[in-house]
Amino acid sequence: MAILKNFKESICVTVITFILTIIVALISYSWMETISFFPAVLILIIIISIGVLSDMVAFAAPAAEVESFHAKAAKKVFGAKKGLFLVKNAHRVANFMGDIVGDICGILSGSLGTIIVIKTASNWQAPKSWIDLLVLSLIAAITVGGKSFLKSYALRQANEIILFAGKILASPTLLKNIFKKIKNNS
């Protein structure tokens, strides 16, 4: 029975990854076609950063302590309930953040790097093979180095990372309640 449940979850993850990759790729590729070199590099850095940070959350979720989040939620610490949810669903959080978000960012960063190489080679009349080698190696090095550094940090500071993620997830609810109070007071 557990194998069947795991298979169903894997199929679901596969479909979600496929759909999200198409959506994100279409959006980013359409931007890359129309923007200049430096904004393209900025978008690439943002995508690499998202991938590295998502990997950190993927490692922090299973390492965080449930008891700590129960205590924080009981004290009504902002974001603790969402953090508790993340810790209780650590395997899904790790899968989503590490495999789906992280891998999509890795694939996109390689693709966007290739687009940057093509733009650079055509605009600056430089040898494409050397630029390609340099850019893609740099993307890989920054990604792997960033993930390596933040995995260690995630294991040491798991509770703080997940609480911060919980605060981010709780923020839309907080904003909604603030706007509701403002509307009711008007």
**3-state SS assignment for residue 157:** coil
> Do the domain assignments include residue 129?
yes
Number of structural domains (the chain) is 1
For the segment 114-160, what is each residue's pLDDT rounded down to a tens digit? 888 888 877 777 777 888 889 999 999 999 999 999 999 999 999 99
For the segment 68-114, what is each residue's pLDDT rounded down to a tens digit? 999 999 999 999 999 999 999 999 999 999 988 998 899 889 888 88
The Cα angle at residue 160 between residues 155 and 163, in degrees rounded to 5: 125
> Do the domain assignments include residue 88?
yes
Q: List C-alpha distances in Å: 63 to 66, 97, 144, 185.
A: 9, 14, 21, 43
> Do the domain assignments include residue 137?
yes
CA neighbor of 52 nearest in space, from 141, 140, 146: 146
> Do the domain assignments include residue 144?
yes
Nearest-angstrom CA–CA distance, 111 and 90: 30
> Do the domain assignments include residue 183?
no
Residues spanned by the domain of 157: 17-168
- The model's pTM is 0.81
> Do the domain assignments include residue 99?
yes
Mean pLDDT within 24-38: 76
* pLDDT for position 43: 87
> Do the domain assignments include residue 180?
no
Confidence band, pLDDT 50/70/90 cuts, at residue 186: low
> Do the domain assignments include residue 58?
yes
Residues in the chain: 186
Q: List C-alpha distances in Å: 17 to 34, 48, 89.
A: 26, 17, 19
